[in-house]
Structure 1
Amino acid sequence: MKLKGKLLLILSLLIVSALMLVGCGSKESKQAADQVTVDIFQFKVEAKDALESAVAEYMKENPNVKINVQTVGGGDDYGAALKSKFASGQEPAIMNMGGMQDVKDWIEKLEDLSDQPWVDKAFNGTLEAVTADGKIYGMPFAQEGYGFIYNKSIFEKAGIDADSIKSFDALQAAVKKLDAKKDELGLKAVISFPAKETWVTGLHLSNAAFANEFSDVVEAFNAKTIDFKYADAFKKLIDLQANYGYKPDGTKGSLNAVDYSTQVEELFALEQVAITQQGNWAYGSIAGIDEEVAKNIGFLPIPVVGAKEDSIPVGIPMYWAVNNGKDESVKDAAKDFLNWLYTSEKGKQMIIHDFKFIPPFKGYEGENLEPTDPLARDILKYSNQDRTMPWVFMGYPTGWGMDKLGADIQSYLAGDLSWNQLVENAKTTWAESRK
């Protein structure tokens, strides 16, 4: 009987142990099933490290979510890379959209974000470019602005009052004064003009002209034709930078070899030039070379003769979008991460201090949430003074600004195309793109 009792006890223990193992296995299986993977495919190279840090913080708080980040940008064509991703079957859960044309091109793949908690916090004018049929398909990245970035120390040494530059004539006079003192100021040239970067010329600089032809991005997007009303003013801006820009071999054609790295890191950050056309995103590149130079820079306006001469373009550079073809659990995690990044206290701190973004949402009023770099502060100054123009280039026909206008600007600088022909080409290619 004792032996029988012992056998029963051993059998009971074995059964209990087996049940515990089954229970643990079930728990582990459930945890594995709950794991969600979110792939982000984004273009903003200068935000890569900050985004990866934010992802790491989010995953600490949400251990069931695995987020992978892949960045394609800089000199690469993000739009083409995104199409390749989809074609290969490696569709990301979170991707970037540039505005109205991208929404139109990708709408079958975009999740409706209208019910997201950040929507009510978005500033006026930041969601129109990603709204279609009353639905919101994108979350704004940040507010950004661009103009002629100038070195305050060099201007002071040259005896130029930057605050007085509110017209093209005043800008041109300052450039000529800097050119006359180039040797004593230790400059290679007054300006660094990256004509190789057609997004700088064909998108950003041309926007100054077309922001005064169209009232907003929606009007530009719907326009079947352009008048190119401010073509002469645009030419003045091109010629000023070409005439006083750093030319690798001394010819205007060699401006087409000047890229972003040469423009910002080799010339401006090393104080080889006094002025360059770029946006607040360039602050990190400049600070990475020389923090002291980066602390002492600001924005001059991009003056359009006959229209706004004291303003800078301010807008939304890109939007986050969610792939509607993913599983619900993946889409929910993707939306939760984006909302956490811009509205949680930890996320907001990172947006300001790590990403160095100018937030496109309300709720950043605290002292520790104010922009820290001088370019971001200047953008707020211009905005508060109502000295801004919209980003209408987001409404250009797909590829028109970079592939058509930007390429023609390169031909003009090389002496292969007259300005009148450039203007006619711009009108023709725009109209053809809208058919």
Structure 2
Amino acid sequence: MLALSACGGGGGADGEAVVAVPADPAKVTGTITVLTNRTDQVQDGTTQKYADEFKKTYPGVTVEFQGLTDYEGEVRIRMSGEDYGDVVLIPGSVDSNQYPQFFAPLGTTEELQPKYDFTDKATVDGKVYGLANIGTANGFVYNRAVWQKAGVTEWPRTPAEFLTALRAIKDKTGSTPYYTNYKDGWPLTNWGSGLGSPSCDVAANDKLAETKEPWAPGTDLNVVDTLLHDIVHTGLSEADPNTTNWENSKNLLGTGEVATMWLGSWAVVQMREAARKAGRDPQDIGFMPFPAQVGGKFCSVVRPDYLFAINKHSKAKEAARAWIDWYISKSGDAQKSLSISALKGAPLPESLKPFEEEKVELVRLGWAKNNLVSQIDKASEVGLSAKDYPQRIVDVARGAAPGDLAGVFADLNKRWAEAQAEIG
């Protein structure tokens, strides 16, 4: 990101005009390129179907897509120049204070906050630079049939109960209780997204700016990462993490060879599709919150997925803004993917109806201090949203790396505290 700070069009965007949703669709023209991480939707024609529908409302606009497998890496490189599409999903490595360098403002907070969730994560000086299509709840995707076969019919309420349930699965079924997806790495990054679930605290992320020891006993990160460690350490995960495979994991969970994975709620639809293709009941695939309660209730943090933004160098900003608004509001993609729509007041997807029935509290974290938290995270080289530190926990837990969990936590706390003191 040092390269991005020095390139990409120079300084801030004070006074830059907001790109509003076009008042008259018939007058909007141009060809726009949309960068996406959904290579599956590009390949199976889903994105083209959306473009065809969009054209019925905006006949003068042509939408083209570029599906990028290594989305973060490729876009980060392209952002050192001006060619990074017209509509872009903001890479996670871009700090929010850099948004005006790279993206055009979509509206003011006052205008957009009443309509969309998660606008605070992309707000700089009262202007919103990115809008989420969906939010995703955090929890465990699980095969109900396997859990029921093991005699577990209720959601575990504590980490200890969760481990007991996994042991029952190991003892009473032929399934692997838990699958880490260690080799691909990126699925492990979701463990960092558990922040806020054990405590049910909307300020959990912002508090990291002042917390010197985020892995101290009783903290969210300590509770969440201890569970990951204990699952692996007690032999409740796959035999060899080096052989895991993300694409195959869908089939394993869909058929019941694997019972459980910690992922976002976005994964449910993919696991159900795998179950359907294998001739199994898609409704066997369910979703449960992290095993912890506050005041007798479960909590699940809801985070925005990628934020849609407009390249500030785009020559077709109006057409790009039209696409973002239509895609979020009219495409129906959030509903089809069983995700939480970013539109305020939209109903929860069918996959999360059990959350409603059990009165699970959906926690939307505050992001007021996220830029500072991000700076500390980078200076510490911890990587809260990276794969390295959860992979290290797995390695220590299985004896493939020296040390123990207490040592890992002590090192993480030390690095965090030093970086916090350095940043100020």
- TM-score of the two chains, using structure 1 as the length reference: 0.74
Greater share of residues in helix: 1
Q: Distance in 2 between matches of 1:142 and 1:381?
A: 22
Structure 1 gap ranges (5+)? 1-32
Q: How many pairs were matched up?
A: 373
Provide the residue aligned with 1:272 in structure 2.
257
Q: Distance in 1 between matches of 2:151 and 2:211?
A: 47
Contact 2:159/2:292 (CA < 8 Å) preserved in 1? Answer: yes
Provide the residue aligned with 2:343 in structure 1.
361
Alpha-carbon offset, residue 308 of structure 1: 9.2
Provide the residue aligned with 2:215 in structure 1.
228
Q: Distance in 2 between matches of 1:351 and 1:170?
A: 33
Provide the residue aligned with 2:102 in structure 1.
109
Contact 1:233/1:306 (CA < 8 Å) preserved in 2? Answer: no
| Mapped pair 1:283 → 2:259 | no
4+ long deviations beyond 6 Å: 305-309, 391-394
Share of identical aligned residues, percent?
16
Q: Distance in 2 between matches of 1:236 and 1:244?
A: 14
Q: Which amino acid aligns with 1:386?
A: E
Provide the residue aligned with 1:120 in structure 2.
114
| Mapped pair 1:168 → 2:168 | no
Q: Which moved more, 1:230-239 or 1:129-138?
A: 230-239
Instruction: Give per-residue Cα distances to partners, 1:228-277, cap 9 Å, x unaligned.
Output: 13365234311343134443xx4xxx324424224333x21121022222
Cα 1:297–1:211 shift into 2, 3 Å: closer
Alpha-carbon offset, residue 43 of structure 1: 2.2
Cα 1:408–1:239 shift into 2, 3 Å: closer
Provide the residue aligned with 1:338 in structure 2.
324
Cα 1:43–1:221 shift into 2, 3 Å: farther
Q: Which moved more, 1:230-239 or 1:190-199?
A: 230-239
Provide the residue aligned with 1:419 in structure 2.
405
Contact 2:112/2:119 (CA < 8 Å) preserved in 1? Answer: no
Structure 2 gap ranges (5+)? 1-26
Contact 2:140/2:262 (CA < 8 Å) preserved in 1? Answer: yes
Cα 1:84–1:388 shift into 2, 3 Å: same
Q: Distance in 2 between matches of 1:224 and 1:79?
A: 29
- TM-score of the two chains, using structure 2 as the length reference: 0.75
Q: Distance in 1 between matches of 2:366 and 2:184?
A: 18
Contact 1:118/1:339 (CA < 8 Å) preserved in 2? Answer: no
| Mapped pair 1:352 → 2:338 | no
Alpha-carbon offset, residue 293 of structure 1: 3.7
Q: Distance in 2 between matches of 1:406 and 1:363?
A: 35
Q: Which moved more, 1:217-226 or 1:332-341?
A: 217-226
| Mapped pair 1:131 → 2:106 | no
User: SS state of the match for residue 295, structure 1?
Assistant: helix
| Mapped pair 1:55 → 2:51 | yes
Cα 1:335–1:410 shift into 2, 3 Å: same
Cα 1:363–1:101 shift into 2, 3 Å: same
Contact 1:210/1:228 (CA < 8 Å) preserved in 2? Answer: no
RMSD over aligned CA atoms reads 3.5
Q: Which amino acid aligns with 2:392?
A: D
Cα 1:118–1:104 shift into 2, 3 Å: closer
Cα 1:211–1:377 shift into 2, 3 Å: closer
* Matching residue within 364, 386, 393 for 2:361: 386
Cα 1:350–1:128 shift into 2, 3 Å: closer
The structure with more radius of gyration: 1
